[in-house]
Amino acid sequence: MGARPGAGRANDKKPAARAAARRGERKGKARKGKGRPASPISHVEKYQRARVGGLSPELELRFTDLQQTLAERWLTVHDWGSGPRDIVVVPSLSLDGFQLDTIKGVIHYEERMLFTLGLLRHPEAHMVFVSSLPIHPAVIDYHMALVGGIPSAHARARLTMLSTYDSAPLPLTQKILARPRMMERIRQVIHPARAHLTAFAVSDAERELAVRLGIPLYGVDPKLLWLGTKSGSRSTFKDAGISLAPGEENLHSQSEVAEAVSRVWEENPRTRRVMVKLNDGFSGEGNATLSLQELAHVKPKARGAGPSHKERAQAVSEALERLTFVSANETWPRFLSALERIGGVVEAYVEGRHKKSPSVQLRIDPKGDLEVMSTHDQQLAVDGQTYLGCIFPASEAYRLGIQRDALKVGAVLRDCGVVGRVAVDFVTVETEPGRWKHYAIEINLRMTGTTHPFMLLKLANDGDYDQKSGLYLTPSGEPRYYVSTDNLTSPAYVGLLPPDLLDIASKHKLHFEPGQATGAIFHLLGALSQFGKLGMTCVGRTPSEAEAWAERVRAVLDAETRR
């Protein structure tokens, strides 16, 4: 959470650029596709108009005033002696274009933010943690036991757990806004003059909740969310001067996509597949693949020979109706409707015999400091799009390289006024033994599936990330590695209650052992009984030991549930 010597920071600030970004006049304007005149501001405005929400001018001014107080209220685990602080935690999955019922047990993903209980190490910190459904007391006790340096009873006395008792597949923040008495209850618990709101992701709903509670919001201003779309990401990568996949952004129609695919193909004739992505998506949802091999009859040829650009674009347009979608429930008419509303991008599918999908996590704090928090190799499903888990740290072969690129991206975002958690996703391919080429793919202006594993380790061990080596170092300076997943599932696990899982882990000595700083840290325990699903982060002194812990946990659970 807090910075220490060796952490990756970039402290030069550019207030003029930041102010310009807030006015919608970014210094590095979004690039236009060739032959496609367009105003970058118009793309931003079109995206903003497509998004639901917004505040009245009076509330907008109130939000701006509240945000001016964020820096003095913001708290990290290393700010000892900074005085009383109140934190309201709302782990809402407020993601545009994301249907909450597409992931099994997703309502329990709110539990992933229980790592914030680490802030209760501060003897004067008070926290309100809100969830859709009540969280089992054993789950709370388990996470409280991970908070070292202070008696659990002392920390527990400063924690208030609230629930909407609403299991509807809607973002938690919307549920809170629909319950005025709950908002009043939160106001009664906190001291607004010293409190702030933190959330998994920020939308107009979180901004409104902050105003209703009268406290600032730690996270990106929703007016800047365009920077985290697929189109905004590509524009930001260009401003940062880093490599990205061949493609075009700011596409809003079938004909624009067909033209863009044709241009990308003509400029990169060896391209075999292209990705068509909606501006907003989550865990691969909103992505589709088009195979160009079935369009061999219009393949670009040397020196302009063969079919014309017009013929190629027409063939591509017809083929778009046969896209292969990541989501099994997606259809072309619905995909096209979303594209016309929020826009999207086209990118050449990056090929490679050895290909990885690493990610870098950054933090831009309210004081303007930019810090590398971690790197991971993401574990994806066979479609190469759906997130399953992660390995920390990213491979030694390229983690420092993607760190450098991510810091360049973070500097651009900071100059635009972005505050909060940021993740930059890459695809990297081995071009020759030991040499890797990186392509920036996406920016997430929020927490991601790689946030909570690292923060759970920090909660349990209180070490820190060392930017020079790209390793996590314990307080004694020893490196630790982990593998993590949100998808440890089995039909046999259905019916296990959180205390059952904790009993099994105790019996077989699976729990994280603070003295050794190795073992398993569990999360998503609320999803276990109904869905047979839980998460784990397995920590070892070496990558192989971390993987061995993960295999052991799976083997023990499978054996115990066969009885």
Contacts 24+ apart (CB under 8 A), 505-510: 505/553, 505/556, 508/552, 508/556, 510/549, 510/552, 510/553, 510/556
* Cβ pair 167, 133 in contact under 8 A: yes
**Burial call 513-529: b when 16+ CB within 10 Å, e when fewer:** eeeebbbbbbbbbbbbb
Integer CA distances (angstroms), 347 to 121, 234, 260, 553, in order: 45, 10, 9, 39
Whether pLDDT at 305 is above 90 = no
Per-residue pLDDT at 331: 92
Percentage of residues of the chain with pLDDT beyond 90: 75
pLDDT score, position 76 = 72
Is the predicted pLDDT of residue 489 greater than 90, yes or no? yes
- Token pair in block for residue 291: 């195979």
153-166 pLDDT, tens digit each: 999 999 999 999 99
**Whether 223 contacts 117, CB under 8 Å:** no
Task: Tell me the C-alpha to C-alpha distance, in Å, between residue 385 and each of 101, 326, 349, 423, 427.
Answer: 18, 7, 12, 16, 11
* Mean pLDDT value of segment 232-254: 97
Give start and end residues of each alpha helix (H) in 416-526.
451-461, 498-507
* C-alpha dist (Å) from residue 287 to 52, 293, 387, 443: 22, 19, 13, 15
Domains and CATH numbers, the chain: 246-348 (no CATH), 355-561 (3.30.470.20)
Lowest-confidence region among 19-28, 170-179, 261-270, 496-505: 19-28
User: Who wins on pLDDT, 10 or 529?
Assistant: 529
What residue type is assigned to position 402 of the chain?
Answer: I
Percent of the chain past pLDDT 70, that is, above it, reads 87
The count of other CB atoms within 10 Å of the CB of residue 246 is: 17
Task: Provide mean pLDDT across the span 463-467.
Answer: 95
Taking the C-alpha atoms of residue 527 and residue 110, their distance in angstroms, rounded to an integer, is 11
Q: Mean pLDDT throughout 532-538?
A: 97
Q: What is the pLDDT of residues 328-376, one digit of tens each?
A: 888 999 999 999 999 999 999 998 888 999 999 999 999 999 999 999 9
Q: Is the pLDDT of residue 30 over 60?
A: no
Q: Does 459 have pLDDT greater than 60?
A: yes
| pLDDT single digits (tens) 78-115 | 676 678 999 999 999 876 555 566 678 889 999 999 99
The per-residue pLDDT for 306 is 79
* DSSP helix, strand, coil percent of the chain (3-state; round to 5): 40, 25, 35
CA distance 432 to 226: 36
- Return phi, psi of residue 376, to 5°: -145, 155
* pLDDT value for 501: 98
Which pLDDT tens digit goes with each residue over 396-424?
999 999 999 999 999 999 999 999 999 99
What per-residue confidence (pLDDT) applies to 14? 44
Going by C-beta distance under 8 Å and a sequence separation of 6 or more, which residues neighbour residue 308? none
Which pLDDT belongs to residue 384? Answer: 63
Residue 485 has pLDDT above 60, yes or no: yes
Q: What are phi and psi of 407, to 5 degrees?
A: -65, -35
Q: Which pLDDT value is given to residue 149?
A: 83
Is the pLDDT assigned to residue 49 strictly greater than 90? Answer: no
Model pLDDT, residue 8: 44
> What's the pLDDT tens digit per position in 62-76?
999 999 999 988 877
pLDDT in tens, 52-64: 456 788 888 999 9
Selection from 155, 159, 156, 150 nearest residue 131 by Cα: 159
Task: Quick: pLDDT tens for 106-143.
Answer: 899 999 999 999 999 999 999 999 999 999 999 999 99
Residue 34 has pLDDT above 70, yes or no: no
Distance CA 28, CA 40 (A): 10
At residue 20, the pLDDT reads: 42
Residue 510 clears pLDDT 80, i.e. is over it:
yes
Q: Which of 6-20, 118-132, 137-151, 502-516 is least confident? A: 6-20
The whole-chain average pLDDT of the chain stands at 88
